[in-house]
Amino acid sequence: MKIRILNISFLFIALSIFSSGCSDWTEEKSINDTDLNSTIKTDEYYAALRAWKNTPNLPQVFVWFDNWTGTSPTGENSLRGLPDSVTIASNWGGHPKFELSADRKADMEYVQRVKGTKVVVTLFSAKVGDDMPWDDIYNIGNSSDETLVRPAIRKYAEAIYDAVVASGYDGYDWDYEPQGGGESSAYLWKNKVQRTIFVEELGYWFGLGSQRTDRDGRKPAKPGLLFLVDGEIGIRGRMDKDWESQYIDYFVLQAYGGMSNSRMAGVIVDMSEHIAAGRITATEVVRRTIITENFESYANTGGGFLNMSRYIYKAQYEGEEIDQQIGGCGLYRSGFDYIPKGKGDYDGSPEYYFLRQGITNIYRTFYERQNPAPESEQP
């Protein structure tokens, strides 16, 4: 009984954290005029928030963030204005990815240090050398000759790592869309040899395999950097089954318009060789999958986001019974949800009307599954 009381108490604390909106962060004031060493909420609140974000197997709330200036603490333009319970925010958009302004850098450092939010960078990386200073070694075209390809991709992956670390990010998100986007020259998406080597080389710098001691001359990697792949996973171009994809932290599905069991099953199929080899279970694949909605198109209605935030995958796979909550939910272009458009209030505040409902859904589901009611209390 005492254990259950403690769990309920922690649930109350967690609910208080993730139901907190962004009403405290709506004042139009440049962060250059704000003491970033001070906090609006208490130090104890933020310490609890940071500790909570390290809860084992906690589902993630992920956003692709654009229109980022960092000059005012509003949800449209600043990471500080995102709901506190967002766990991963990705720098996506037309602004610089690595030459960050002083305002953007201060904004990012604040949410990392105070809120415990992970900030990653999304790159298309459709060709070797994209977004990095040019080096002649990158000029490999559509070659599948590993003696030519591997040195170029190895240098490119390390260059991405160096840029991520120098800029202060917490990881890298590869936007992989071999069929849905890109020109025919998007060789790093379309050439199977190149993309297989790219995922392998990234795995030495990011994700669950980055601390391998057998590095074949590679320098040590900073621990804890996230490795995400988004786009055509379990669908269309798909991940190749021989990728070193067991080292990827999260598979981020562009499940725009709604999520289906067949889409989740597709991710498991992509990972089937790793599952068969015992490197990962099908349940763990679900736990590493984040599903997202497109608010460039669905901000007014919420699209399928609220259903995504409640999604649980139940199925059988090769004798394994799967009953697993999704690993996370999120939004593409979350800023479109910041300004209310006649949707009213959620929990007393109009900002991030759908995002905050999704946050409540996913964490309520998580804690209810962690702390099921006794049979005597069930309906």
What's residue 379's pLDDT? Answer: 56
Whether 67 and 161 map to the same domain: the answer is no
Give buried/exposed letters for 88-111 (b at 16+ CB in 10 A, else e).
Answer: bbbbbeeeebbebeebbebbbebb
Q: Which of 242, 264, 279 is the last residue of a domain?
A: 242
Instruction: Output the six-digit token pair for 340.
Output: 């209310």
The last residue of a domain, from among 178, 213, 242: 242
Same domain assignment for residues 161 and 89: no
Give the CA count within 13 Å in the CB-facing half-sphere of 162.
11
Residues of the chain with pLDDT under 70: 1-40, 375-379
Residue 378's pLDDT is 58
338 and 300 part of one domain: yes
**According to the model, what pLDDT value does residue 1 have?**
27
In a domain, 335, yes or no: yes
Q: Is residue 297 part of a domain?
A: yes
128, 118: one domain: no
- Residues 149 and 96 placed together within one structural domain of the fold: no
Q: Give residue 344's pLDDT.
A: 82
Residue 69 CA to its chain's centroid (Å): 20
**Residue 247 domain-assigned (yes or no):** no
Please state the domain count of the chain.
2
pLDDT for position 318? 95
pLDDT tens-place string over residues 56-83: 999 999 999 988 999 877 778 899 999 9
Q: Write down the pLDDT at residue 377.
A: 61
Token pair for 281: 């279970």
Q: 211 and 225: one domain? A: yes
Six-digit token pair at 379? 């309906």
Q: Which domain holds residue 311?
A: 1-122+255-379
CA distance 66 to 69: 9
Look at residue 85 and tell me if it is in a domain. Answer: yes
Q: Give the residue from 183, 213, 242 where a domain finishes.
A: 242
In terms of domains, do 118 and 260 share one? yes
Phi/psi zone of residue 128: left (φ > 0), alpha (ψ -120 to 50 degrees), beta? beta
* Same domain? 99 vs 207: no
Residue 370 lies in a domain: yes
Both 168 and 73 in one domain: the answer is no
User: Are residues 378 and 259 part of one domain?
Assistant: yes
pTM of the model: 0.90
295 plus 339 within the same structural domain: yes
Residues near 204 by beta carbon (within 8 Å), at least 6 away in sequence: 157, 210, 212, 215, 218, 221
Contacts of residue 331, defined as CB under 8 A and 6 or more positions apart, other chains included, come to 62, 63, 64, 292, 293, 294, 295, 305, 337, 354, 355
Quick one: 150 and 98 in the same domain? Answer: no
- pLDDT, one tens digit per residue, over 191-224 is 999 999 999 999 999 999 999 999 999 999 999 9
On whether the CB atoms of residues 83 and 329 are closer than 8 A, the answer is no
Residue 249 falls inside a structural domain? no
